[in-house]
Structure 1
Amino acid sequence: MAAFTSKDVARLAGVSQSTVSYVMTGKRQISERTRQRVLAAMEQLTYEPHAGARALAGRRTQVVGLVVPFDSMSEMTGLLPFIETIASSARASDYEVLLVTADEGSAGLRRLAGRALCDAIIMMDIQEQDERVQVAAALPIPVVLVGMPDDPAGLYCVDLDFDAAARIAVDELVDTGHDEAFVIGYPAAVTDRRLNFAGRFLRSVRRHAEMRGLPLTVLEPVELGRAGAATAVEHLLAHRRPGRTGVVVPYNASIRPLLHALGARAVVPGRDLSLIGISTDHQADESEPPYTNISEEPRDVSRRAMKTLFWLLDPGPGVGHPPVDLVAPRLTRRGTVMPAPTSAMRSS
């Protein structure tokens, strides 16, 4: 028996080879008339792409591949809300989740798609210039990025609006009468790899602080753990100016060690200086002391990423999704930002 290929199917159906691929994977919206022609040609030729494939014309694996970082256990607290929400969204649509670690790189993506292990992929841990993105864009299954590389290569991106988070932090400090701000920067593991969220936040916080006339110092890298936090606090206290100092901590794993380091020096956030962390609301509420935070919204980001992914698998007529979907951050005040001085205090 002759072994037919997708090129044979395309020739018989009178369509391009890429259209055959889109019909099989659901990566692009194809008219029902064209889809039926392709399915009829596949049936006539008794064609299947390879022996293990189940993703033919409605016969899917019902699996979503999730590419996640597992570099350091210190990041697991921030990662778990993403994994939990993606898994629950998948189960609600009768899908399972297959975890793949980001250290597999492009080979991991090719393995997922090439062996028909999943119907679509969610990628996290995105670098500004990520060599996996071009590979992902060429895969025959939908890929959604949680993050924004410099060049998304046509892939859909969902993430927190880190530019807006930086603006909110600067505005809160300026509007409450602060004289300067320190940013406790990211660890070297983040900055050396140029993870996209760090660059987006730091560029925005520098730009907006300059625009609003707030003197800003960025301490980086600041290593995780108590030793790194203690060093950052010593530098901050030694170099801050007279007046009201605000501290912004954009990396959630750094916040609690920093609070511990401040407490060890009897420095009280909300009294002696101000502190804003970027983290989940749960982390901010459960901290001692609870701190003013700008929420990372990991569950909203994950839900919207999954919504985009399922739309790519089954695009509805007249329904679209933005290629870049940024979730708006929220500021919640919990007492670690000093209130604005009164008019009398300002004039004295």
Structure 2
Amino acid sequence: MRIDDDRLSGSSGPGAARGATGRTRRIAPTSKDVARVAGVSQSTVSYVMSGKRPISERTRRLVLDAIEELTYEPHAGARALAGRRTNVIGLMVPFHTADAASGLMAFAEEIAVVARAHDHDVLMLTAAEGPSGLARVERRAMCDAVIAMEIATEDPRAELARELTMPVILIGVPARHEGLHCVDFDFESAAQLLVDELADAGCREVAVLGWAQERAALGINYIPRFRERAAARAAERGVRLRWVSTSHDRAGVETYLDAVLGAGEPPGLLALHSPHDLGAALQQRGLVPGRDLDLVSLCTDDDAEVQPVPPTAVSPQPRDVSRLAMTWLLELLDNGNDTPAELRLVEARLTRRGSVRRPG
């Protein structure tokens, strides 16, 4: 149960707790408590208070009786917003590193474009606040809904999202995503497409230029999803996967190539980021993808097309993911937060560009 410091009092009785100073503090009931006593959903409690949707008189009376029984009082922001909206979408984007910030801007730009097309503004929350950031924007009634990005496999924001009355869309898939509105790119299918492309070209070994160690350490959910599917598919196709985690700058790419290129036939190369430095490093060594070796990448179409040899690639489609998230969020705002929670994925597609040698 959440303790709202604004509602603490010195009275004792049911629902009271004694603090470290010996004073008795009153634990404020929440709308979740009202829903439990009334036997309705938390969103129904919200609709009764806001008047945003028609509610039967019987259900309305159950909620009002529960409010009176618990002496529940919505926060001032909720009372002020009854019957109206802020037309603001919160976007929680924790920029952990400069590289991460650059990669996430396409998502943020598209979300802002869609928001403005529907007369909404975007409030960006860039600090790595975790669940406290979500709780703060709802408590202060700063926005109508939130999109949270950079979801970790074990993400405390996901657990809090289950309890909030405002709609929350997660771009990412936590381990326990049941009951949550989640949108993401299909990284599992992307892994299978990329492994299959190299296996079909006759590669029996694939050297993967993986995500930087500091990024993997954040627990971002798509990394293990991709790795597990890639490993499973490689085993099915009789391909040996060799993972190399290094920095994504030129020095890191050179370390990767030194580690995987030796005498004999080079392995297939799979780059899990923009291949700019990789393409330049191969060119400096006199190696041409599609002629001397096979290269595939997980990168956007824009990044692929500007390379000396544009690689065959699967794009994570950040703008498509953002549009899907915003479309769903606007539906939730218009039709109510009772829309069934589910996982919606953007389909993975492989675009061939000639960086893989075809048999024969």
1:181 is aligned to 2:187: no
| 1:20 Cα deviation after fit | 4.8
Q: Which residue of 1 aligns with 2:47?
A: 23
Q: 1:232 aligns with which of 250, 253, 256?
A: 256
Deviation at 1:32? Answer: 4.3
Amino acid paired to 1:71: H
CA distance in 2, matches of 1:58, 1:88: 26
Cα pair distance change 1:18/1:322, threshold 3 Å: closer
What is the aligned counterpart of 1:310 among 326, 330, 336?
330
Query: Is the 1:308–1:321 Cα contact (8 Å) retained in structure 2?
Result: no
Q: Secondary structure at the match of 1:232?
A: helix
- Name the residue aligned to 1:170: 195
Judge conservation of contact 2:198–2:268 (CA < 8 Å) in 1. yes
CA shift, 1:166, in A, is 0.5
The alpha carbon displacement at 1:321 in A equals 6.2
What SS does the corresponding residue of 1:75 show, helix, strand or coil? helix
Is structure 2 residue 346 aligned with structure 1 residue 327?
yes
The residue type paired with residue 294 of structure 1 is V
Give the total of aligned pairs: 325
Q: Does the 8 A contact of 1:64 with 1:90 survive in 2?
A: yes
Partner of 2:107: 82
Q: Partner letter of residue 344 of structure 2?
A: D
Match of 2:296, SS? strand
Question: Relative contact order (C-alpha < 8 Å, sep 6+): which is higher?
Answer: 1
Q: Which residue matches 1:123?
A: 148
2:268 to 226, 229, 246: 246
Give the superposition deviation at 1:289.
2.8
Supply the AA of the counterpart residue of 2:46.
Y
The structure-2 alpha-carbon separation of the partners of 1:16 and 1:184, relative to structure 1 and needing over 3 Å to count, comes to same
Is 1:149 the counterpart of 2:174? The answer is yes
- Are residue 268 (structure 1) and residue 288 (structure 2) matched? yes
Q: CA deviation at 1:35?
A: 10
Distance 2:144 2:95 in 1: 23
Q: Name the amino acid aligned to 1:247.
A: L
Residue 299 of structure 1 aligns with which residue?
319
- Spell out the pairing of 1:65-104 with structure 2 (5 A cutoff): 65-104=90-129
TM-score by length of 2: 0.80
| Structure 1 unaligned spans of 5+ | 343-348
| Paired AA for residue 207 in structure 2 | F
1:31 offset after TM fit, Å?
5.9
Residues 1:161 and 1:87: Cα distance change in structure 2 (over 3 Å)? same
The answer to whether the 8 A contact 2:173-2:222 is kept is yes
Q: Percent identity?
A: 40
Q: How high is the TM-score relative to the length of structure 1?
A: 0.83
Partner of 2:56: 33
How far off is 1:57 after superposition?
4.7
Partner of residue 288 from structure 1, selected from 286, 308, 312: 308
Determine the C-alpha separation between the residues in 2 that align with 1:17 and 1:307.
24
Moved more, 255-264 or 106-115: 255-264
